[in-house]
Amino acid sequence: MSLSFTVVTTPADRAAAELLAVPIGKGAIFGPGAEAVDAALGGGLAAFMGEAGFEGKLGETLAVPTAGRLRAKAAVLVGIGDPAALTVDGLRRAAAAVARRATRAASVATTLVSAGTELDIADAAQAVAEGFVLGSYQYLDYKGDATPTKLRKVSVIAAGGAPVRNAVNRGATIGDAVTWARDMVNTPSKEKSPVEMVVAARRLLRGRGITVQVLDVKQLEAQRLGGVLGVGQGSQQPPRFLKMTYAPPRARGKALAMVGKGVVFDSGGLSLKTAGGMETMKTDMSGGAAVIAAMSTLADLGVKTRVVGYVPLVENMPSGTAIRPGDVLRIRNGKTVEVLNTDAEGRLILADALSLASEDKPAAVIDLATLTGACMVALGDKIAGLMGNDDGWSAQVRSAADRAGEPVWPLPLPKEYRKQLESEVADMKNIGGSYGGALTAGLFLEEFVDGAPWVHLDIAGPARASADDGYLMKGGTGFGVRTLVELARTFEPPER
| Cα–Cα distance for residue pair 329/447, rounded to 1 Å | 15
Helix (H) or strand (E) holding 182: helix 162-186
How do the domains of the chain map onto residue ranges? 4-179, 192-489
pLDDT at 118: 82
Would you give the DSSP letter of residue 65?
Answer: -
User: If you write DSSP's letter for every residue of 413-462 in order, what string do you get?
Assistant: --GGGGGGG--SSSSEES---SS-HHHHHHHHHHTTSTT--EEEEE-TTT
Q: Residue 440's closest CA among 413, 408, 411?
A: 413
Q: Which numeric CATH code is attached to 192-489?
A: 3.40.630.10
Selecting among 100, 170, 347, 398, the annotated active-site residue is 347
pLDDT of amino acid 232:
98
The fold of the 4-179 domain, in CATH, is Leucine Aminopeptidase, subunit E; domain 1 (3.40.220)
Identify the pLDDT of residue 116.
75
pLDDT in the model for residue 1? 57
pLDDT confidence of residue 406: 98
- In order, the DSSP letters of 298-341 are TTTTT--S-EEEEEEEEEE--STTS--TTEEEE-TTS-EEEES-
Q: Is 347 a catalytic residue?
A: yes
**pLDDT on residue 480:** 98
Q: What is the pTM of this model?
A: 0.98
Residue 273 designated active-site: yes
> So what's the pLDDT on residue 101?
96
Residues of the chain with pLDDT under 50: none
Predicted pLDDT of residue 493:
96
Catalytic hit among 273, 330, 382, 403? 273
Helices 121-135/162-186 angle, 10° precision: 30
pLDDT of residue 2: 83
8 Å CB contact between 448 and 355: yes
Cα separation, 88 vs 93, in Å, equals 9
Distance set, CA 224 to CA 5, 140, 428 (Å): 47, 41, 18
